[in-house]
């Protein structure tokens, strides 16, 4: 085993890795890697009590904002959520290999492999590794693109006068006549204020969201086995990220008024046409 996060809810005990105070002082430092149990539990890197980097909620294969996948042939990742305990465990599958999961004094969570030939640890994975992975970098209702780190408002939103506050809707939700647009390859937004139910399917999740005028988005809780469970968000969506295709992420359905959905669809078709037109010219399709 090279890493474990654990909440014993009956005894009120918590286990988590933390950084040293400094390179020379092994006392507990200001950075720690924990499970945030507010809303649907998610893995976070904290500076004191403030989220520095969010690894996201568990989606059946991996934490939504992390690329360490439980389907790896070398590593097993387990996540358990019951009324008695919440824990995640990282374990090496090959006995010949030695891994460790640790937190540095420079607000990084690392996975390292021991290299016997040089008698030293080699870093395999580090997070944050790009500007997008710093919590709330783009503000509310904005997306950070991991492939080309920059902030863009969700479709149908515009930048707030105060840029640090992210983006606001151009058309208000009507509540009674709303629909949803699917976004793919997304790191799910902060789940600390979310609501979840493991027993609902995606259609039931959608219907439940539509019944509450404050519900702004929904997604499957678990994407394994074709998808299951329901995760709902209310009000603003914080810390949305987009991964390039085949690098992770999952679907999330964001709420819009019916009148706006038609406009967004037409805009999408127009943009696809323009892209095809220019590719045909420059690539001689």
Taking every pair of Cα atoms in the chain, the longest distance, rounded to a whole number of angstroms, is 68
Supply the pTM of this predicted model.
0.83
Q: Each residue of 15-35: pLDDT tens digit?
A: 888 888 888 888 888 998 888
**What residues pair up with 224 in beta bridges, in sequence order?**
none
Both tokens of 269, joined, read: 């078709």
Query: Is the separation of the CB atoms in 86 and 37 below 8 Å?
Result: yes
What DSSP designation does 247 have?
A: S
> What is the layout of strands, in order, in the sheet containing 13-15?
13-15, 3-8, 85-92, 75-81
Q: What is the β-pairing status of strands 240-242 and 178-187?
A: antiparallel
Q: Each residue of 150-191: pLDDT tens digit?
A: 889 999 999 988 877 899 999 888 888 899 999 998 999 999
Task: Answer whether residue 100 shows pLDDT above 80.
Answer: no
């Amino acid at each position: 085993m090279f890493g474990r996060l654990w909440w014993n809810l009956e005894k009120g005990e918590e286990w988590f890795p933390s950084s040293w105070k400094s390179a020379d002082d092994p006392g507990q430092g200001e950075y720690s890697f924990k499970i945030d149990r507010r809303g649907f539990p998610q893995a976070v890197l904290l500076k004191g009590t403030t989220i520095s980097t969010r690894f996201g909620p568990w989606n059946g294969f991996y934490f939504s904002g992390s690329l360490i996948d439980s389907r790896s042939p070398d590593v097993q990742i387990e996540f358990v959520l019951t009324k008695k305990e919440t824990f995640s465990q990282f374990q090496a599958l090959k006995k010949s290999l030695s891994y460790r999961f640790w937190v540095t004094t420079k607000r990084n969570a690392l996975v390292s492999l021991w290299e016997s030939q040089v008698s030293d640890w080699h870093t395999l994975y580090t997070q944050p590794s790009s500007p997008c992975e710093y919590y709330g970098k783009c503000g509310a209702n904005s997306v950070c693109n991991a492939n080309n780190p920059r902030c863009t408002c969700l479709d149908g939103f515009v930048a707030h006068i105060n840029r640090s506050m992210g983006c606001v809707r151009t058309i208000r939700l009507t509540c009674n006549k709303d629909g949803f647009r699917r976004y793919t390859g997304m790191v799910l937004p902060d789940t600390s204020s979310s609501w979840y139910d493991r027993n609902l399917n995606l259609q039931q999740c959608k219907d439940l969201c539509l019944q509450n005028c404050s519900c702004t988005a929904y997604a499957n809780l678990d994407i394994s086995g074709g998808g299951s469970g329901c995760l709902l968000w209310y009000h603003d969506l914080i810390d949305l990220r987009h991964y390039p295709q085949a690098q992770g992420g999952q679907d999330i359905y964001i709420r819009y008024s019916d009148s706006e959905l038609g406009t967004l669809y037409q805009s999408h078709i127009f943009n696809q046409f323009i892209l095809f037109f220019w590719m045909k010219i420059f690539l001689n399709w």
